Amino acid sequence: MTIKECVRKYSQELKFVTHIPAKEIEILIGYLLDKNPIWLHLNYNIEFEKEKELKKLVSKRATNYPIEYLIKKASFYGENFIVRENVLIPRPETELLVDNAIEILKEQKSKVKVLEIGTGSGIISVMLAKLIEDIEIIAVDINEDALTLAKENAKKHNVEEKIDFRLSNLYESVVENDIFMTISNPPYIADDYKLPENVKYEPKNALFGGKIGDELLKKIIDETYNKDILYLLCEMGYDQKEPLTKYLKSLNLSDFNFYKDYEEFDRGFTLKLK
């Protein structure tokens, strides 16, 4: 069976799982052959000799198992990152959080120290380390699997010397008093929210932020407020702008702004603390 015939055959099994079934079959074939999409299309009519392996992957994907876990990678900010089970899969909207941080960091004339809370696969810290030359980063997480993966991604992108990875619950293991910016994409989903089928495979402690959903965000605000840190940048849920605005004003904080994601949903904020 040719690659073209395999794409046609197996895409039928994914038509109720994804809106791009043929594309996903191509991705799986590319993964099995270790080839890029250009090679694939130039060789669409050659015999495909790994149909048995493809069938296994397609069967798993048909259960809504994330394709990123199957191919062990995800794209973020135009770069490839290693992805593994028990660690949150990178989302495109988090690129906006990185954009906002870069806008501030690139204006600094001297070396800056940045703390990332909940680094996950390390995508935020790695991109900041790649894009800002004079930077020192502390990246913390409560998930040892996440830290292991984040270190691998830092090494893959040759920025491991710029990032200090630590097992820590928020600021617990952070004693430094010269942090310029804290950045975080924390869990912010309400505990009773019904997750899409594919998201159920991701670690719950990276998704759920409490009964309401914004509890951890407020805790990060509280702990950052009590430290000598100039900026706090966070991703948040689409329905949390109003309650977070009230909370920030209750702390007499007024220098903040919110931003929207690619779908025009409220998605995060930048807070200047002094």
How high is the pLDDT of residue 130?
Answer: 97
Q: Could you tell me the CATH superfamily of domain 86-272?
A: Vaccinia Virus protein VP39 (3.40.50.150)
In contact, 233 and 210? CB cutoff 8 Å:
no
Q: Number of helices and strands (H, E) in the chain?
A: 10, 11
- Tell me how far apart the alpha carbons of residues 238 and 147 are, in angstroms, rounded to a whole number: 27
How high is the pLDDT of residue 227?
Answer: 93
**What is the mean predicted confidence (pLDDT) over 26-47?**
95
**What is the mean predicted confidence (pLDDT) over 188-207?**
91
- Tell me how far apart the alpha carbons of residues 77 and 91 are, in angstroms, rounded to a whole number: 10
- pLDDT interval class at 70 (50, 70, 90): very high
pLDDT at 81 over 90: yes
- pLDDT interval class at 268 (50, 70, 90): very high
- Show me where the domains of the chain are located: 3-63, 86-272
In this predicted model, what pLDDT tens digit does every residue of 109-152 receive, in sequence order?
899 999 999 999 999 999 999 999 999 999 999 999 999 999 99
How high is the pLDDT of residue 75?
Answer: 96
How high is the pLDDT of residue 274?
Answer: 79
In this predicted model, what pLDDT tens digit does every residue of 95-105 receive, in sequence order?
999 999 999 99
> 231-235 and 266-272 as β-strands: parallel, antiparallel, unpaired?
antiparallel
**Nearest alpha carbon to residue 34 among 58, 50, 52:** 50
**Average predicted confidence (pLDDT) for the chain:** 96
- Tell me how far apart the alpha carbons of residues 232 and 179 are, in angstroms, rounded to a whole number: 11
- Tell me how far apart the alpha carbons of residues 10 and 258 are, in angstroms, rounded to a whole number: 43
pLDDT at 228 over 90: no
Q: Kindly compute the dihedral angle of the four CA atoms of residues 64, 68, 71, 74, in this order, to the nearest 10 degrees.
A: 160
**What is the mean predicted confidence (pLDDT) over 233-253?**
96
**What is the mean predicted confidence (pLDDT) over 221-225?**
96
